[in-house]
Amino acid sequence: MMKTILLRILLGLCLALSACHTDNSTHTQKKTSPKTRLSFLPFKGIRYQEVKRRFSNGLSFDSLGFQQEPSWIIQFESNDSILAYSPEKKRMLGFHLLYDHGEVYNFAKEWFRIKSISKDSVLMQRLQVNKREIANDIRSDVNLTFYAENYIKDVLKTSAEVLQRPTSRDTAFIQKRSQTANAHPSNRDSVFAARQPVQLIPKSKLVSVERLSSVDVLNGKTEAYDYLYPSYRVVMHKAYKDFGYTFTVLVDDKGKMSLGTFSGEIPEYHEVRKKVLEGIISVYLQNLFTVKPGTTLGIAHASEITVTIKGIKD
């Protein structure tokens, strides 16, 4: 009797251990098994337009004023080729669709994680890859939503341009951000870049202004740099003397200017240089130009610009 009971206990333990081993093996297999490469053949020839580009918080804007703007148009041609619209060439161009691992792909010199795909839509995450590693920061915190052109037209009964507009959440965010900037217009930590930057309109033939561009695609400076860091070259004749200075100016929501930052001076002459630049702003820039403040979504707010001014005594 005792032997029978002992045998039953041992058999039960063996079965329990076997079950635990089986469960752990299955769990491990599910965790480590690689995701298979996607097949794009079911979606061949469908033209998708990007309709939304958002950070993970659902907003198109960040606190600096940078706006995520949907612009891609793509069309899968095979499992390793894709067409993408080129605004410069104004036509679709072919690119190799490079598979890396999991759901990560590369095309047109950009890395993406394809999170979902159907005949109606595609959801991608834009990735920042450095030395074969995906950056785990805001640079990889961008989600792109595409809709098929037929889906936009026949089902949603609208256009990509309408779907691409900023949302009410974007507007509320910019309103709140502008309130802070306008309450502290001389504080560089409070102001933010205007989507439509400050305008300097000459009132006199003695001055001219040129909006400078810092776009350098080869070095990663996109069109966004021109509104994030707006820069102007001002030439002024009949100045009190020949001079040349570069400095930043804080422009409030009414167009009033104040000195931001400057560099290159000898430390002991800092206050002297500061007074000179403040004089140039108040006497020349403020009086010889109509200053229109920067705006975002039609909301005027304080922002910062860089001015390189050349004074000519003649």
pLDDT at 80: 95
Please say if the pLDDT value at position 22 is more than 80: no
Decide if 6 is inside a domain: no
Which of 130, 165, 200 is the C-terminal boundary of a domain?
A: 165
More confident residue, 265 or 294: 294
The rounded distance, in Å, linking the Cα atoms of 155 and 158 is 8
Task: Specify whether 187 is located in the same domain as 136.
Answer: no
More confident residue, 3 or 300: 300
Task: Specify whether 55 is located in the same domain as 91.
Answer: yes
Task: Specify whether 153 is located in the same domain as 218.
Answer: no
Residue 11 CA, distance from chain mean position: 63
Burial tier of 141 (Cβ tally within 10 Å: 0-12, 13-18, 19+): middle
Decide if 10 is inside a domain: no
pLDDT at 215: 78
Task: Specify whether 211 is located in the same domain as 288.
Answer: yes
What integer is the mean pLDDT of 202-206?
Answer: 95
| Distance in angstroms between the alpha carbons of the first and the last residue of the chain | 120
Task: Specify whether 307 is located in the same domain as 254.
Answer: yes
Encode pLDDT of 211-261 as tens digits. Answer: 999 877 666 677 889 999 999 999 999 998 999 999 999 999 999 999 999
Q: Per this entry, what is the length of the chain?
A: 314
Q: Of 309, 291, 308, whose CA–CA distance to 300 is shortest?
A: 291
What integer is the mean pLDDT of 125-136?
Answer: 75
Domain that holds residue 258: 181-312
Position 135 confidence tier, pLDDT thresholds 50, 70, 90: low
More confident residue, 40 or 138: 40
- Mean pLDDT for the chain? 87
Decide if 258 is inside a domain: yes
CB atoms within 10 A of CB 187: 12
Task: Specify whether 304 is located in the same domain as 185.
Answer: yes
The rounded distance, in Å, linking the Cα atoms of 51 and 143 is 11
The partner residues of 202 in beta bridges, in order of sequence, read: 289
Task: Specify whether 131 is located in the same domain as 192.
Answer: no
Task: Specify whether 129 is located in the same domain as 63.
Answer: yes
Task: Specify whether 143 is located in the same domain as 191.
Answer: no
Buried-exposed string 149-171: b where 16+ CB fall within 10 A, e elsewhere: bebbeeeeeeebeebbebeeebe
Task: Specify whether 208 is located in the same domain as 297.
Answer: yes
Encode pLDDT of 77-98 as tens digits. Answer: 999 999 999 988 889 999 999 9
Decide if 25 is inside a domain: no
Task: Specify whether 111 is located in the same domain as 228.
Answer: no
Decide if 221 is inside a domain: yes
The rounded distance, in Å, linking the Cα atoms of 196 and 38 is 41
Task: Specify whether 129 is located in the same domain as 211.
Answer: no
Decide if 267 is inside a domain: yes
Domain count, the chain: 2
User: The domain spanning residue 67 has which CATH number?
Assistant: 2.40.128
Decide if 32 is inside a domain: no
**DSSP 8-state code for residue 19:** H
Decide if 34 is inside a domain: no
